[in-house]
Amino acid sequence: MLLRCGEFGRILGAAVFAAVVCCGPAVGDADPFVTPPSLVGHVDFWKQIFSTYSRDQIVIHDTENPSRIYSILDFSAQAKSLSEGALRKEVRRAEKAEKARIRGVLEKLQRNPDSSRLSVEEMRIRSLLQDDPRPDRYRLAAGEKRVRSQRGVRERFMQGLRRSRRYIRRMEEVFRSEGVPVGLTRLPLVESSFNTHAYSKVGAAGMWQFMPATGRKFLRIDGGVDERLDPMVSTRAAARFLRQNYERLGHWPLAITAYNHGPAGMERAVRSVGTVDLGKIVAEYESRTFGFASKNFYTEFLAALEIDSDYESYFGPMALDSEEDADEVELAHFVSVRSIGPCVGSLDDWKSLNPAVRPAAFQGKRWLPRGYRVRLRGGEGPEFRRCYDGLPSSAKRASHPVLERVHRVRSGETLLKIARRYRVSMESIRRANRLRNRNLIRIGQKLKIPGAGVVAASAPTRKAAAPHRVTHRVTRGQTLAQIGRRYGRSVESLRRANGLRDANRIRVGQRLRIPAR
């Protein structure tokens, strides 16, 4: 249900936001995915990346106007003769050299654009910027962040198209039932190429690439099951998340961009620029977190949607995967994978149909939760139900049994504190870990925690809850704002928790404490 304009103004405290958003199109509009005129070139660029350039080709282009392509580096020949590691080194070296060359040409043109001594290559690059009226256009284009390289993904995109047909019909049914345009079922072509096992460097997972913090709003994510990896359960979660974005922002281009940049981030962009025109936002909004990926997310989707609708024009005839024929049975109890093993036939087949089940469940360290929908090959559902009903009562629990867990010792912890947290005796921990002296444990040590009772009894008590239970190791390219969004914390709370004087200065490999809510 859409919020009224007055509610937007009251909640956001920004009249301009309410004024420009509240007249957006309805969910059922015939063409919800408009292309802003200023972004037509962006869409064309991504169509080329998806359908023309291979993984062995590197496109050197301008970030402000991606369709301004300076050069193409082709490593097809090297890919046949070099090892993967050697090829990566060669690509990095050539990319760096080519971007430096392009910057040099642009800087030369800025000094003397009308020189009669320009080479053919220099005149070609000059012609690429002839529509830019700014007098310092060459200097701006030579900026460090303006000259960028992009690898072609033709092969990966084709693979995503093939895989998509396993799920697309049922995905469209889910999106219709949630009141979301079915064209958005093609978004995984951009996010993951429909790979249910996809993981990103920053922790996003599954076909829809949910981050843990966002995923937990809609899905079960724990040691036994990660529903981000379930193709259909995550699809319903994605539909609901996208619908929430639309109800919050009022326009599908904004809602889709918010899938990458976050709805709060898009609200800030709208307030800052004073418009819901995504083309103007991309051109004018300045933010450290609103980078190339966020600015191009919507146009990548448009390009993927257009190619999908007429894929044979781009790739010729293709053999697409058949629709997955699967039955689903909802578990009425907590059960172990070992217990239901005789009911599922081939374990390898069952693993491929249930990618959400984590290794800990197959290893017997976690049980499948009540309510989990087991996926089976088509027609196997009735036989599974009969087998499941015949399992002994000891194999089916109303709550998760506590099995042996592992605890990593943190600064300031004692064996007494750890025992109280898990509601077990110090002596049982000492015996399970063969500790000679229960007072000698070290930071980082892994302790086996023997089980007793049910999971509810193992939750940390309020008294034992530590104020900084989570740490994060900074990876290349991350900012404090990105880390904050991942864990649902503010930049200021992270800065205070880690004693940072400057929130903009964190280093790769640095460990940051994530404050408790």
Active site residues: 191
Nearest Cα to 138, choosing from 72, 67, 73, 64? 64
Cβ-in-10-Å burial (0-12, 13-18, 19+) of 210 comes to buried
Please state whether beta strands 326-330 and 373-377 pair in parallel, antiparallel, or not at all (unpaired): antiparallel
Please state whether beta strands 147-151 and 373-377 pair in parallel, antiparallel, or not at all (unpaired): unpaired
For residue 73, which phi and psi values (nearest 5 degrees)?
-100, 125
Structure tokens at 373: 């929908």
Q: What is the longest distance spanned by two Cα atoms in the chain?
A: 89
Give me the DSSP letters along 171-216.
Answer: HHHHHHHTT--GGGGGTHHHHTTT-TT-B-TTS-BTTTTB-HHHHT
Q: Is the dihedral of CA 258, 263, 265, 268 positive or negative?
A: positive
Q: Alpha carbon of 45 to those of 191, 277, 409, 480: distances in Å?
A: 17, 20, 51, 31
Q: Is the dihedral of CA 222, 224, 226, 232 positive or negative?
A: negative
Q: What is the DSSP letter of 323?
A: P
- Measure the CA–CA gap between 193 and 164, rounded to whole angstroms: 8
- Measure the CA–CA gap between 270 and 280, rounded to whole angstroms: 10
